[in-house]
Amino acid sequence: MVIARLAALVAVTAALVQCAPDRGHPATPSPATPSPATPTAAEPAPETFRTVPRPPQTPPPPTAGPAEISSVTAADLGSTWRAGCPLPPERLRQVELDYRGFDGQTHRGQLVVHEDLTGEVIDVFAELYRIGYPIERMRTVENYPDADDELSMRDNNTSAFNCRDIPGTGQWSYHAYGRAIDVNPRLNPFVDRRGDYQPANAARWVDRTRTEPGMLHDGDAAVLAFTDRGWTWGGHWRTPLDYQHFELP
């Protein structure tokens, strides 16, 4: 009898074990698998990552390197100066300063300006550098044959002093006093009342609805870098329009 009962119990137990999966216990196999342990172990990793200090969101504004001011002689000025010019070379200075190229890199350029304006010019170009306004070239105009302004403009060369008159007037230009600067002149041409323009290779940029790096438009930070400091912009004139030209009488 005892043996028979034991046999019956074993049979019932076996049936229960066999039936268990059929009655639906999906949780039964889960604890046996190691998968829940994997995310638990991985969780601390992201928290550790989040505690790593991040770099600043925006880098500090770039600062132009120090400018250098030097005196100039008639020999230094070459064909930009001649006897009869309104200022002697002693009243002029060469300013060497940093500018941002169209390649985004820092370049060194030279401007010859009136001795009273060196600080002004350094401030303006430090601001242009800070805002990232690109300038293609900046070298003094005696680097072009006969200090020809047209050649300098065609080369999109930014320049200041040149002892020349205002075309067609016989009056000295402010450039002859080192009190005017032409910026990216090919991108910012001179346009007279008839619509003729200089330099000759600037046709594309006579259309001032264009917006391209280096072009100057009313209200641009690059224009304000001058006009906020009291300079006059030729783009504000009625005629001619001289988008490259800033002067400080």
Least distance from C-beta 174 to Zn ion, angstroms? Answer: 7
Which string of x and - marks every residue 210-249 that binds Zn ion (by CB under 5 A)?
A: -----------------------------------x----
Least distance between Zn ion and beta carbon 184 (Å): 12
Name the closest residue to Zn ion (Cβ): 245
166-205 as b/e, with b when 16 or more CB fall inside 10 Å?
A: eeeeeeebbbbbbbbbbbbbbbbbbbeeeeebbbeebeeb
Residue 69 CB neighbours (<10 A) = 15
Coil/strand/helix, residue 106: strand
Q: Which stretch binds Zn ion (CB under 5 A): 57-65, 71-79, 114-122, 181-189?
A: 181-189
Q: Torsion-angle region of residue 6: left (phi > 0), alpha (psi -120 to 50) or beta?
A: alpha
* Site stretch for Zn ion (CB under 5 A), options 30-38, 76-84, 182-190, 220-228: 182-190
User: Nearest Cα to 112, choosing from 63, 29, 182?
Assistant: 182
Span interacting with Zn ion, options 3-11, 35-43, 118-126, 172-180, rule CB under 5 A: 172-180
Choices 2-10, 45-53, 102-110, 176-184 (CB under 5 A): range interacting with Zn ion:
176-184
Q: Measure the CA–CA gap between 205 and 212, rounded to whole angstroms.
A: 9
Please provide the DSSP assignment of 24-75 as one string: --TTTTGGGSSTTHHHHHHTHHHHHHHTSPPPPSSPPPP-PPPPEEEE--HH
Q: How many residues bind Zn ion (CB under 5 A)?
A: 3
Nearer to Zn ion, 132 or 167 (CB): 167
182 binding Zn ion? (CB under 5 A) = yes
Shortest gap between Cβ of 152 and Zn ion (angstroms)?
10
Least spacing, CB of residue 185 vs Zn ion, in Å: 8
Asked if 186 touches Zn ion (CB under 5 A), the answer is: no
Interacting residue ranges for Zn ion, rule: CB under 5 A: 180, 182, 245
